[in-house]
Structure 1
Amino acid sequence: MEKKILFPQIGGIMHGGDYNPEQWLDQPDILEEDIRMMKKAGMNCATLGVFSWSTYEPREGEFHFAWLHDIMDKLYANGIYTILATPSGARPAWLDEIYPECRRVDSYGVREHHGVRHNHCMSAPVYRKKVSVIVNKLVDEFGNHPGLLMWHISNEFGGECYCPHCVKRFQDYLAEKFDHDIEKLNKAWWTTFWSHTYNDFSQIEPPYRNGEFSIMGLNLEWKRFTTWNMTDYMKAEIAILKERTPQIPVTTNFMKEYDGLDYHKMQQPLDVVSWDSYPRFHNDEESFSDTMTENAFDHAMIRCLKKEQPFMLMESAPGLVNWHPFNKMKRPGVHRLASLQAVALGSDTVQYFQWRKGRGSFEQYHGAVVDHLGTDDTRVFREVADLGEELKKLKDLAGTVVKAPVAVLYDWDSLWATDGMKGLAESTRNYIKTCRKAYRNLSALGVDVDVISSEEDYSGYSVIVAPMLYLLHPHVGERMKQFVEQGGHLIATYVTGYVDENQLNYLGGFPGDGLKDLFGVISEEIDTLYPSDRNCVHFAEMPEGEVRDYAEVLRVADGTNVLGTYEQDYYKGMAAVTERTCQNGSAMYIAARLDDASMQHLYARTLKKAGVSMYKLPYGVERHTREADGMRYVFYLNDTTGPQIVSGVEGIDLLTGEVIKGILTLEPYGVACVKE
């Protein structure tokens, strides 16, 4: 495969962050000092204008851009490029005063007041018009600036709007989806229950908190509509930029596996995907290694939205944040470790929020490269500057990608449907956590793992794991069957294939859509366990496994191999883990929520069968590979506070220049990038 260079102007890995010079226009000495310190920190890019609308346009129709010209010119003269944001993430007060329909309506039907951010109505025609004006003005002023590297669309899209504009668009969206046939919708949503049948699409309201929220299909379609509507709004901004500056790529910054928008859909009009990473480092609920693995899952999920090219780490905190329940400082070495984890997992950028701490308002205590102290001799600044030097050593990685042999399926529809279902236990369903656990247990075996949609192409993978894929999109069952028939190895768990795309239960047994034949099992019942309940699974070839939270009772078809059986309760001796072979492929079904050690044993068994190379790693050590143009770069990251030794490593560590011949020693929080 060839390299996919995102920014040839940079000549390597981008190092930058959000810069808010409009907050310091009355202190030119600070602005001059910023550029000096950016160069010292090894910064080659700055993100500008994210929340600058009221500075651009303090009153309707009155525009001021001279300050930004001055900043961008000086940055470019000093070798620092600009990612320029459209300012639609936060509106000026005059706009909401003159055009109140731009303000969102909440889920009780109440119009929100002016304030905060990310609360515009996506549907309001006047808001789209005013955004069009300011975006066109930005293109007029900066579209041909030599330092303009990329457009950044708004900021961290999120939320919902229940205003009349959005309600009407929702009704039209439903009419289009159901072929303008209200009976088709009624059937799909099972509206005869509680006598909720609709006579016309105009009767349908969103799931107001004081209205109709008992129809599962309605709740799910509202989530889908919100993604569609937000994406439609975003595309309106992108259309202006693409028409006028087609040579400039566009992105927007996603937020973790944010539960309000389906990023699989929303990424489509973007040239590059980016996201904002703010792990809760050093918390007292999990190990540091668990926190790092959760962050790795998030990187992988974002990376796989456009897995044929690198992604961007758009925001991260060089120190602490201000909005976690406990805003703990990053300990020495953690900033380097977390930043290089992003690079190891496919990011061609390390960027921060923010460059300099503001003196006041909501984020005055959010971490930054430059503290309120205002000097370049702080611990955080030194760590950022040191990282800047190390990133220069990794310049050849730019454009390389992660080529994983294994994928975990993660769907927003299954997240929404599982979260909203009335069944099981609200506190233990944990769809996202279950997907993360699958990723963690696979990664512990030293393999690279993608996180993809169930609707994505399965070719190229040897093993696919589908944790709790409660909702099945059309044709997913058939695609899984083809994957196994063509030699792939599929692993699914309890709560797979219970409902179709409208949240109607499959008849004839779970998992539906033909999967019961593929796996050779039918889930007849599912037992929801209290925290005090205990059960175990007996295996012939591995240690006994512990069961928590959920246990399905299976019917097993002839020809299906039983790998493990329950040890307790009335279903003692019945199948808990099964496997069915099909030509050169296999389909494993894990009917209970098992402990990590058992899952790793089962995954290792399947990886071995699939011919996937595994690597023995000490606890808390990550291994990730980037490759292109015949070159491979293998990262080893030590997520522990003690030294770790990894054997079987051969190559040159690009960060130290050391030649590794078999044994790699990692210092606490240490990282190596080995060119093989």
Structure 2
Amino acid sequence: MTTARRLRLPGIAYGGDYNPEQWPEEVWAEDVRLMREAGVNMVSVNIFSWALLEPREGEFDFSRLDRILALLHEHGIAADLATPTAAPPAWFFRKHPQALPVDRDGRQLSYGSRQTFCPSSPAYREAALRIARALGERYGDHPAVVMWHIHNEYGCHNAECYCDTSAQAFRRWLRERYGDLDTLNDAWGTTFWSQWYYDWDEIIPPRTTGAVPNPTHRLDWRRFCSDELLSLYTAERDLLRELAPQIPATTNFMVNFSFEALDYWRWAPELDIVSNDHYLRSTDPESEIDIALSGDLVRSLAGGPWLLMEHSTGAVNWQPVNRAKTPGELRRNALAHVARGADGIAYFQWRAAKAGAEQWHSAMLPHAGTDSQIWRDVVQLGADLGALAEVRGSTTAARVAVVWDWNAHWAVEAESQPSGELRFVDLVRDWYRPLWQAGVAVDFVRPDADLSGYGLVLAPSLYLVDDAGAANLTGFAERGGTLAVGFHSGAVDANCHVRLGGYPGAFREALGVRTDELFPLLPGESLTLSDGGTASLWSERVALAGAETVTSYTSGPLTGVPAVTRHSYGEGVAWYLATRPDPATLAALLARICEEAGVQPVVAGVPTGVEVVRRTGADAEYLFLIDHAGSGAEVPAEGVELLTGKDVSGWVTVPPGGAAVVREPRNRP
């Protein structure tokens, strides 16, 4: 949480999206009674209520919201009050049809769902600020309101709009970035394919065209779209901060497998409290790793504790097949988020909807009512979070940093790469997975971050890196750190221009290697390695330039060529992985790198499948142990197990499929 504006709520926040406007008012009393039973202490309200609050332009009706907030306050439940600007009403689009978004193919989309507006529309911005102001003026000192929930999931459905209004905004953004057309033409490499621009009005968004678009044009478009949505958030935030300076503001990020539209390194400093939505893929057999990776990344964005604003009690409604959670999974998921720094656990939504697009999405109170396993699990989780109240505000320390950059993410997955099979998140997760299995604590960092507190920095996929970021990473190794870099990293600069002289570009000197040609592999193709493992996806003709060979290829056209290298650089060491080793081989390699770097797991000898995380508070440390394998475990620990209240001396028992959280003294041996 990034500023002095803190959430005025004791303990861990617990609740979910509350949409009482979808139900008869007589249901509300039952809702608050059951919330108290479940241990709910905060709900998000008003997220999609614009049409009810402003039935006609400039005419407001707050009577329903007045009663909702009064009822919550009467029962001791805090409100995370949203500005409902993610879903403008139908009357707005009838009056301002030009505010509807246009897709890449030039089709104007219709209203009738959510997020159906152009982020650059002046009419939308004016209307959004009008209703935000009305809410701030009416509820800025309401005793129930403890946080502003600005908008909802920015960019979820309208991250990009290709209309003429967006084109004008894009040109303004480019003028601020480059200053003049000569600088832009140079940055974009517009001498290629006769793309030179002589007038700013010639520049349009990267709409559908007959061939491959200019990669720098496309990259700057992604940057612009992220910034344009951010400007909407900061406009609402600044207005509410003026009206109610004591109330912190957030908006819910979507740091999960499916969303890549926004550069959250730029967004996070603008939030008083960083919050995130996270949902599981039904097809992911190791979704617990996705939860951990997301949680570590959000904690790193926040610089400390954060809030989980949405996840699901069971099945979602938007995947091809929406699977329910297995017994105990609801609890394990929530506690894993807390372990990774979440000081609040919330769901979409409180009561399962009987109508609308999300009627088959699970909720805290399901269609079956209180005679259901989900409800019993929700009540149990409320008790668990109550027992963990003292954990709030504690932090996590890590000696390993993983480099994550949205610009590199966007660039490596652009068209006309040497391989269209490269997926940034998959490559990062390849390296994260063995660290998670080994119980090694991890932070995520920008390429230009302060690395002084780390012993090991990993850059699994950093295709694009600017000069400052490259110098920061190589300087870390030169000053005594251990740096490991994945293939196809350092290849291009901030403008997507290839760094000449051989690959891996910006990292050649530090890694002590030079590649003159890339040999990406076909889907299903693999090569054997000298250490007995296999490699897939990628290979390259690496020549040593000071480094030593750790592993080489033993099959294919590159037989005998280095696949993994190690280089003493300055006072440190730099490793290069020029291919994608199989999981077991990669795990063994990263274990060796960690050992050489002096990196230790949180607790040694914990069985595979038991997640281990430690949060550190002012007076105690909190050891989280979560069994995802279903076998249970005995783990060395001393202190008090908070979920049961039992003293722990020597060993703590983690039940099969269960969890334990041990308060340990700060001066433990």
TM-score (norm 1): 0.94
The residue aligned with 1:518 is: 510
Q: Give the alignment of 1:415-454 within 5 angstroms.
A: 415-426=409-420, 428-454=421-447
**Equivalent residue in structure 2 for 1:84, among 81, 85, 95:** 81
The residue aligned with 1:474 is: 467
Q: In 1, Cα distance between the equivalents of 2:149 and 2:212?
A: 35
Q: In 1, Cα distance between the equivalents of 2:18 and 2:635?
A: 43
3-state secondary structure, aligned to 1:598: helix
- How far the C-alpha of 1:337 sits from its partner, in A, is 0.4
The residue aligned with 1:174 is: 174
- How far the C-alpha of 1:234 sits from its partner, in A, is 1.2
Is 1:353 aligned with 2:342? Answer: no
Q: In 2, Cα distance between the equivalents of 1:569 and 1:531?
A: 15
- How far the C-alpha of 1:453 sits from its partner, in A, is 2.1
The residue aligned with 1:264 is: 265
**Equivalent residue in structure 2 for 1:493, among 483, 486, 496:** 486
Q: Give the alignment of 1:218-367 within 5 angstroms.
A: 218-257=217-256, 258-281=259-282, 283=283, 286-287=284-285, 290-307=286-303, 309-367=304-362
**Count of residues paired in the alignment:** 657
The residue aligned with 2:544 is: 556
3-state secondary structure, aligned to 2:518: strand
- Post-superposition Cα deviations, 1:328-349, rounded to whole Å, max 9, x if no partner, equal 1112211000000000000001
Residue identity matched to 2:395: V
Would the aligned equivalents of 2:491 and 2:503 in 1 still touch at CA under 8 Å? yes
Ranges in structure 1 where 5+ consecutive residues have no aligned partner: none
**Equivalent residue in structure 1 for 2:380, among 383, 386, 394:** 386
- How far the C-alpha of 1:212 sits from its partner, in A, is 7.3
Q: In 1, Cα distance between the equivalents of 2:455 and 2:381?
A: 36
Q: In 2, Cα distance between the equivalents of 1:393 and 1:595?
A: 42
**Equivalent residue in structure 1 for 2:131, among 121, 131, 134:** 134
Q: Structure 1's 656 and 563: CA in aligned 2 closer, same or farther, altered over 3 A?
A: same
**Equivalent residue in structure 2 for 1:95, among 69, 92, 97:** 92
The residue aligned with 1:483 is: 476
Residue identity matched to 1:37: L
- How far the C-alpha of 1:75 sits from its partner, in A, is 0.9
**Equivalent residue in structure 1 for 2:575, among 588, 613, 619:** 588
Q: In 2, Cα distance between the equivalents of 1:5 and 1:336?
A: 31
Q: In 2, Cα distance between the equivalents of 1:537 and 1:507?
A: 29
- How far the C-alpha of 1:570 sits from its partner, in A, is 3.1
Q: For the aligned residues, what is the CA RMSD?
A: 1.9
Would the aligned equivalents of 1:5 and 1:398 in 2 still touch at CA under 8 Å? no
Of stretches 84-93 and 459-468 in structure 1, the one that deviates more from structure 2 is 459-468
Q: Structure 1's 654 and 31: CA in aligned 2 closer, same or farther, altered over 3 A?
A: same
Residue identity matched to 1:578: T
The residue aligned with 1:609 is: 596
Residue identity matched to 1:112: L
Would the aligned equivalents of 2:16 and 2:349 in 1 still touch at CA under 8 Å? yes
The residue aligned with 1:189 is: 188
Q: In 2, Cα distance between the equivalents of 1:562 and 1:90?
A: 57
3-state secondary structure, aligned to 1:267: helix
Is 1:632 aligned with 2:621? Answer: yes
Q: In 2, Cα distance between the equivalents of 1:574 and 1:658?
A: 57
Would the aligned equivalents of 2:2 and 2:269 in 1 still touch at CA under 8 Å? no
Residue identity matched to 1:529: L
3-state secondary structure, aligned to 1:101: helix
Q: In 1, Cα distance between the equivalents of 2:330 and 2:4?
A: 25
Ranges in structure 2 where 5+ consecutive residues have no aligned partner: 665-669
Q: Structure 1's 555 and 630: CA in aligned 2 closer, same or farther, altered over 3 A?
A: farther
- How far the C-alpha of 1:7 sits from its partner, in A, is 5.2
Would the aligned equivalents of 1:645 and 1:663 in 2 still touch at CA under 8 Å? no
Residue identity matched to 1:224: R
Would the aligned equivalents of 2:110 and 2:116 in 1 still touch at CA under 8 Å? no
- How far the C-alpha of 1:250 sits from its partner, in A, is 0.6
- How far the C-alpha of 1:584 sits from its partner, in A, is 3.8
Is 1:538 aligned with 2:534? Answer: no
Q: In 1, Cα distance between the equivalents of 2:363 and 2:321?
A: 17
- How far the C-alpha of 1:668 sits from its partner, in A, is 2.8
The residue aligned with 2:15 is: 16
Would the aligned equivalents of 1:3 and 1:400 in 2 still touch at CA under 8 Å? no
Residue identity matched to 2:176: E
**Equivalent residue in structure 1 for 2:389, among 385, 395, 398:** 395
- Post-superposition Cα deviations, 1:571-593, rounded to whole Å, max 9, x if no partner, equal 22221111112344211111110
Residue identity matched to 1:636: L
Residue identity matched to 2:436: S
Residue identity matched to 1:128: R
Q: In 2, Cα distance between the equivalents of 1:474 and 1:168?
A: 30
- Post-superposition Cα deviations, 1:396-441, rounded to whole Å, max 9, x if no partner, equal 1101111111111111111111111413332x31211110121111
Q: Where in structure 1 do 4 or more consecutive aligned residues deviate above 4 Å?
A: 2-8
The residue aligned with 1:125 is: 122
- How far the C-alpha of 1:663 sits from its partner, in A, is 3.7
Q: In 2, Cα distance between the equivalents of 1:336 and 1:81?
A: 23
Would the aligned equivalents of 2:340 and 2:396 in 1 still touch at CA under 8 Å? yes
The residue aligned with 1:648 is: 636
Q: Structure 1's 630 and 4: CA in aligned 2 closer, same or farther, altered over 3 A?
A: farther
- How far the C-alpha of 1:532 sits from its partner, in A, is 4.1
Residue identity matched to 2:140: G
Q: In 2, Cα distance between the equivalents of 1:219 and 1:608?
A: 41
**Equivalent residue in structure 2 for 1:573, among 533, 546, 560:** 560
- Post-superposition Cα deviations, 1:218-267, rounded to whole Å, max 9, x if no partner, equal 01010000011111111111110111111111111111242111111122
3-state secondary structure, aligned to 1:555: strand
Q: Structure 1's 132 and 213: CA in aligned 2 closer, same or farther, altered over 3 A?
A: farther
Would the aligned equivalents of 1:4 and 1:400 in 2 still touch at CA under 8 Å? no
- How far the C-alpha of 1:213 sits from its partner, in A, is 5.0
- How far the C-alpha of 1:6 sits from its partner, in A, is 7.7
- How far the C-alpha of 1:630 sits from its partner, in A, is 4.3
Would the aligned equivalents of 2:6 and 2:273 in 1 still touch at CA under 8 Å? no
Of stretches 504-513 and 11-20 in structure 1, the one that deviates more from structure 2 is 504-513
Would the aligned equivalents of 1:444 and 1:617 in 2 still touch at CA under 8 Å? no
Residue identity matched to 2:467: P
Q: In 1, Cα distance between the equivalents of 2:208 and 2:345?
A: 40
Would the aligned equivalents of 2:13 and 2:42 in 1 still touch at CA under 8 Å? yes
Of stretches 351-360 and 597-606 in structure 1, the one that deviates more from structure 2 is 597-606
Of stretches 83-92 and 188-197 in structure 1, the one that deviates more from structure 2 is 188-197
Would the aligned equivalents of 2:563 and 2:577 in 1 still touch at CA under 8 Å? yes
**Equivalent residue in structure 1 for 2:498, among 494, 505, 511:** 505
Would the aligned equivalents of 2:6 and 2:272 in 1 still touch at CA under 8 Å? no
Would the aligned equivalents of 2:102 and 2:109 in 1 still touch at CA under 8 Å? yes
- Post-superposition Cα deviations, 1:354-376, rounded to whole Å, max 9, x if no partner, equal 01122211011111112234x32
Q: In 1, Cα distance between the equivalents of 2:229 and 2:25?
A: 38
The residue aligned with 2:61 is: 64
- How far the C-alpha of 1:8 sits from its partner, in A, is 5.9
